[in-house]
Structure 1
Amino acid sequence: MLADEAPEFAPQVEEPELYLHFLVTRMRHRQLSMAALVADARTEAARRGARLLRTHCWAGEDARLVREYEELGFTATLESEVLRSDDSIWPGQVLQTRV
């Protein structure tokens, strides 16, 4: 899902952006699916005149998913921790890329 606004835990930016929420893929084809969905998001950001594409992901398991986003051209910017309804902590990472 793409949105014009970032979630509240992501720092505000002073330029037009597109925020990629909830990128979900099948594990078996994750890298190819992620690449295709990110390419589509870049295209849509450019179409809307946004020069910044941001997202966030789970940073657990030795930050494996963070590295996958970095391989797609994203740069890690802000680590975050979100308190879940069961009082556990969700370790997250905000990432961005220029379009």
Structure 2
Amino acid sequence: MNKKSKNRKDLMLLCEDMLMGEVLTMFGVMLHAKEAQEIEYLLKREMEEILLDLSDPRIDDIVKRVMREKYHVIYGLYKRFVSPKDRIKYALAIAERK
């Protein structure tokens, strides 16, 4: 396979991903320990707020479904900053709310 064919194939795969509603982006970030701790704190705070809102009976189920989707995205980020032991609390928390 020549380089032009490979590039075309890669482009087709990218287009296919975009049509499916998902575009993958890779970021490389170097953080100081203090910055990583701050991001971890912000993610935890956001997850706690979502969990609190999920227990509110005044919020419609449709809104709660979107909140769960947002929670899973934030949890995916959070997993990258903490140990498996620390992430269990938030994995179990969302499972209990379903």
Q: Which structure has the bigger radius of gyration?
A: 2
Task: Provide TM-score, normalisation by structure 1.
Answer: 0.30
The structure where strand makes up a greater share of residues is 1
- Normalising to structure 2: TM-score of the pair? 0.31
Higher helix share: 2
